[in-house]
Structure 1
Amino acid sequence: MTSSISDDDLTLAIDKALPDIRAAYVEAGDAWQPHDYIPWDDGRNYAFLGGEDFVPADVKVDAVVSNGLILGLLTKDHLPSFHRLLAQHHLIESDWGKFVGHWTAEENRHGIALRDHVVVSRTCDVEQLEMWRLEAVTRGYRQYEGTREEIKIAEQIAMVIVHEALSADYFDRLADYADTVESTPAGLVTTLRKIANDDRVQQQYWTELLTVALDVNEGHVKDALLGQARVASPIGAETADGLDEARRIVTEAGISSPERDREILNGLLATWGLAL
């Protein structure tokens, strides 16, 4: 537990622990199927296949639920950026690569499930949604000059733990709200709960890796955790332009807010005697 220990030492310690942690992580997963929770009978073709394209009157979903879905989905669409940040210092064939790969597959399932709900329920204009997706993915999550040097293994682990804590709370609170609204599409509350539960399980096993790293270099790893908490983005913040109203609606409903995020992060950091 000395600051002279290098990133290579951290990587070696984590690589040694990874096989067991990865096996337990895969075993703990809930292999749910997104298609089981989509109300396919509520959907209909768009004009290209002889149906009707979206019109604003199609939206029957509560505004908080619809905007919460959009922001949550666009955040999950940042998956390529997350994968790039997590894979850049490691071999994809390594245990780290397999661990990150399994996490990536689970996160991708979340995006699939949320998008299917949005399209079937006509929660929003899907052409606009696609433009937002293209903008969000092109812009990327925390992609900037110097990222490679700044986000190494301790920061990578801390970044995911912080993000998953915020994500789990967001989708749980959105599910709580959606469960009180009659217009919520069938299966949506269950889907949101499944996503939140996945996020909590993911956070648990990334925390297992953090514990290994703490045993190697406690000071450095705690600094990384606090640093990642300080720069964490609220769910839906780093998405696309034109979504300020969606963010306002979700914030006013108490689904996500700076105050709530700070509460969640301080609760997380308290585990290690830290605070924002």
Structure 2
Amino acid sequence: MTGTTEKHDLGIMTYLAPVVADNLDRHLSLTKEWFPHQFVPWSEGSNFDGPLGGDPWEPGQSRLSEHARASMIVGLLGEDNLPSYFFTILSAHGNDGAWAEWVRQWCAEEARHSVVLRDYLHTTRAVDPIALERARMAHMANGYVNAHEGDGVLRTIMMLSMSELQARVVHRNTGMLSNDPICDRIMARLAADENLHMIFYRNLVEAALEIDPEDAMVALCDVITVFGGPAQQIPDFTALSDQFKKAGVYTSRIHIDSVINPYVRHLRLLDRTDLGPAGRKAQDRIGRYVNRIELACRRFESMRQDPQPQTN
């Protein structure tokens, strides 16, 4: 990070500090205390092989569909790597004041998610526990590399606002498609948390747009047009994501309809008129990106509805 970027970050953080404090108070007034152990069907559990001499895991023991397992593994590994996110964000935001208080609150709430997901998956024998633990070790050993590290705190905030929205959608769809009411209840609880987290970060983005619309629009363009979310750094992410794409947990259509378009509309990114040359260029690029993704989705859907005959 350059000295100029650090100076700009300090200015942004100073301007946003009261917004962070206000939104932290708002968040604490809305968030609900809940306990992971109350969501887990402990009576279904049994010992695994190893020191306790239980039964080894076998694929047939899982009552979850393959796509639900894949989606929950991705979600759990993302939550497991919170120490890396915590370090990355605090390095940008500082270790004192409202910023630090929020990051600690956020990470504590997200940690509940990893607890309930792992306990559910282990108790119901939904996944191979040895493979899951090895994936956790590999993911945490690799850490988390912020794609916008060095680009300033603003892009980190924007990335998080979109990541939380994406997580809300994935959690909710995973639960509804799991064919397990207990899983559905867990994922709905997680989605409710992620929604509040998304609103917190999105409110900061709105404030940044009012403080400096030009710079904020350029930053948003950088984030939106390459957004994939931190889960992409999970081991075997491509293979896992293919499973829940096929099942409709998270597809390109869902990405544009449930994440990109609502985000762009809420922030009125394509309607702003208070921009200079760089901001207007970024605004135009966002609009073209949205149109391009929409067109690609329509083409793909058309091909699925009207498949071309195969020739030898």
Measured against the shorter chain, the TM-score band is 0.7 to 0.9
> Which amino acid in structure 2 is aligned with residue 213 of structure 1?
A
Counterpart of 1:102 in structure 2 is 105
Q: Is the 8 A contact 1:71 1:236 kept in 2?
A: yes
Q: Is the 8 A contact 1:170 1:235 kept in 2?
A: no
Counterpart of 1:43 in structure 2 is 45
1:161 equivalent to 2:161? Answer yes
| 1:162-215 superposed Cα distances (whole Å, 9 cap, x missing partner) | 10111111111112212xx2xx2x522111001111111111111222222222
Q: How do 1:109-258 and structure 2 match up within 5 A?
A: 109-143=112-146, 148-150=149-151, 152-178=152-178, 181=179, 184=180, 187-233=182-228, 236-241=231-236, 244-258=238-252
Q: Provide the aligned C-alpha RMSD in A.
A: 2.1
Q: Is the 8 A contact 1:236 1:247 kept in 2?
A: no
Aligned pairs, how many? 263
- Alpha-carbon offset, residue 245 of structure 1: 4.0
- Looking at both structures, which has the greater relative contact order when contacts are Cα pairs under 8 Å and sequence separation is at least 6? 1
- Alpha-carbon offset, residue 68 of structure 1: 1.8
State the SS of the aligned residue for 2:233: coil
- Distance, in Å, in 1 between the alignment partners of 2:185 and 2:255 is 23
Q: Work out which of the two has the higher radius of gyration on C-alpha atoms and give 1 or 2.
A: 2
- Alpha-carbon offset, residue 265 of structure 1: 1.4
- Alpha-carbon offset, residue 90 of structure 1: 3.0
> Which amino acid in structure 2 is aligned with residue 256 of structure 1?
Y
1:12 equivalent to 2:14? Answer yes
TM-score, with length taken from structure 1: 0.87
> Which amino acid in structure 1 is aligned with residue 64 of structure 2?
V
**Structure 1 unmatched ranges of 5 or more:** none
- Alpha-carbon offset, residue 141 of structure 1: 3.1
Runs of 4+ in 1 over 6 A off after TM superposition: none
- Alpha-carbon offset, residue 77 of structure 1: 2.3
**Structure 2 unmatched ranges of 5 or more:** 1-6, 271-285, 290-312
Closer, same or farther in 2 for the Cα pair 1:140/1:95, shift >3 Å? same
Q: Is the 8 A contact 1:160 1:203 kept in 2?
A: yes
- Distance, in Å, in 2 between the alignment partners of 1:89 and 1:235 is 17
Q: Is the 8 A contact 1:88 1:148 kept in 2?
A: no
